[in-house]
Structure 1
Amino acid sequence: MRRLVPGRVRRLRERLRALDRLPKLDELDRVKDRLDNVIEAVGRIEARQLRGTRGSLRDHEFRVYSHAGEDGIIQFLVHSIDIPSRTFVEFGVEDYREANTRFLLQREGWRGLVMDGNEDNISAIRADPVYWNHDLTAVNAFVTRENIDRLLADNGFTGDLGLLSVDIDGNDYWVFEAITAVRPAIAVVEYNHRFGPARSVTIPYDPAFVRRRHDTSWLCTGASLAAIVGVANRKGMDFVGCNSFGNNAFLVRADLRPDWMPALSVEEGFVAGPFKETMLRGGRPVVLSQQEEQELISGARLVEVP
């Protein structure tokens, strides 16, 4: 197996060089980017084989379709616990070119449901070969805590679920809390590191919340890590860590977590993200210091939650 990896890498590099000689069309650029990610993933896999199968989540990071190493962490988790159902749900996927579950769909053959509030994004997914070639349901829906269980049930997802991925840049806490139709073995839920590890807070619930319209800075959105972990604990799930990018929490059902995989406190597992995404009025990005970011959000209206 390991002897094949260098050959695969060489072939991928040859394909990349060939792309460099072709006209720089948008689609070819996207293909080149994806092949870059595949090469990175192959390298990560080889490194993990040498390193062993245990360790922190960040030791297992690699990305193929995910934004920041989630593909590798998810692979580590799904092969470390007994998954009762090879199914997933992910919402807030945009056009599904960058997602936490696409690698599961394509590599592992899982059945999945993806949802997004933009009809054009869902049309793009349905036009993608990944939709034709795999057991994937794509639904145009603006997800709220009032409709999430109905959306899941109407599309055939109830009971045991392999993986749930929540990333809607706003009501993540409220929607995650409201889900009762499925019981995920693993959950990946976005958190806002700018709220710090100590506070259990979220934005007030607004079913029509859209980050770019409701928060011009893009900073006062979502929930703190402690708030997300609190919901998970009430659902019988343990917090097992964050990605190194500092935006996603990983949660595992307590009755499925192996003894060698530690359940972490928020303080033990918190990661502050290095990324900067502050926007000024008018949509112009600006780089702020951590202190400047904190000053900007100091007056934000937040809700203390259990």
Structure 2
Amino acid sequence: MLRMKKIKQRINQINQIVQDIEQVKYAIGALEAPTVSSCSAVREFKVFSQSGEDGVIQWLIHNITIQSKRFIEFGVQNYTESNTRFLLMHDNWSGLIMDGSRANMDYVQQDNVCWMHDLKPITAFVTAENINALIRENGFDGKVGILSIDIDGNDYWVWKAIDCVEADIVICEYNSRFGSERAVTIPYDPGFYRTNAHSSNLYFGASIRALTHLGNKKGYALVYGNRIGSNLFFVRRDLLNDVVREKSIESCYVRAKYRQARDAEGRLMLLSIEEEEKLLEGLPLVDVSLDL
């Protein structure tokens, strides 16, 4: 009994440390946000996002007319690292988040962020077939401010399938290892799982040109690509202005330097960019440039 009591005390102490760290991160972000929103150019900063997405989002929402302060984000894991968490806390938006792991969504439901803010966590493995139903069933169809897609797989196909949402901003992960010249994506597989598809973990998603091509068809302009070469930002064409302007693929593409390749046992391989790209040679890809 004494041992269990000590374990519970230690868990409580750890949880308190985690909360304290989050408050420090939030406080720093709250100081950064006003300086970013008033800038004429994008300035990245990270609070809860993977890299500088928090800063890009703050810049965008203060420089275009937002229809609805609601967001949808899927592929969030346990939501401690995400594109919309700072937006939820700092700007008091409402959101729907989805992840395929029950454990991840249970974690979110126990997190302070869930009861302190208007956040709806849903356990769901997102596919092109179910995405519209998931959004409608949870009351987030129609106008939203941000749609954020990061599922490490069928990102292109799922965005293509979404027709129940009118988002002002779309954020989507791209695979820089596919280069900037080809408009390609992995073939659609509703059960796609990145590690099973190829042990390297490099075979997923779509190229920047494929996503920009899809965005154009849906009425969106590419306005930014983050500095590490992982996320693209699209804005509805009717919302563009003298500050938020369309950018070329060439100016937004970054040949990412971070290393992701894994060996068959799941261990990180410190390969060069060229070696990582070579691992993808010969794997099936779909050219979407003629998908009109």
TM superposition score normalised by structure 2? 0.90
Residue 30 of structure 2 corresponds to residue 30 of structure 1: no
CA drift at 1:259: 2.8
Name the counterpart of 1:93: 76
Question: 3-state SS of the aligned residue for 2:121?
Answer: strand
Question: 3-state SS of the aligned residue for 1:255?
Answer: helix
- Residues 196-249 of structure 1, C-alpha deviations (whole Å, 9 max, x = no match): 111100001100011122220011111001111111111101000111111000
**Separation in 2, partners of 1:45, 1:139:** 29
**Separation in 2, partners of 1:46, 1:259:** 20
Q: Which runs of 4+ in 1 moved over 4 A?
A: 22-26, 45-49
> Which letter maps to 2:25?
N
Q: Percent identity?
A: 42
Question: 3-state SS of the aligned residue for 2:72?
Answer: strand
Listed as ranges, the gaps of 5+ residues in structure 1 are 1-21
Contact residue 64 and residue 103 of structure 1 kept, 8 A:
yes
Q: How does 1:67-78 map to 2 (within 5 A)?
A: 67-78=50-61
RMSD: 2.0
**Separation in 1, partners of 2:24, 2:265:** 34
Name the counterpart of 1:177: 160
CA drift at 1:38: 3.7
**Separation in 2, partners of 1:237, 1:46:** 26
Change (3 A) 1:275 1:26: farther
Deviates most, 63-72 or 260-269: 260-269
Contact residue 99 and residue 122 of structure 2 kept, 8 A:
yes
Change (3 A) 1:286 1:29: farther
Listed as ranges, the gaps of 5+ residues in structure 2 are 1-9
Contact residue 246 and residue 271 of structure 1 kept, 8 A:
yes
Name the counterpart of 1:297: 280
> Which letter maps to 1:247?
S
**Separation in 2, partners of 1:45, 1:180:** 32
Question: 3-state SS of the aligned residue for 1:112?
Answer: strand
Contact residue 44 and residue 61 of structure 1 kept, 8 A:
no
**Separation in 1, partners of 2:138, 2:119:** 11
Change (3 A) 1:301 1:118: same
Name the counterpart of 1:254: 237
TM superposition score normalised by structure 1? 0.86
Select 2:39's aligned residue among 49, 53, 72: 53
Change (3 A) 1:151 1:45: closer
Name the counterpart of 2:103: 120
State how many pairs are aligned: 280
CA drift at 1:44: 3.8
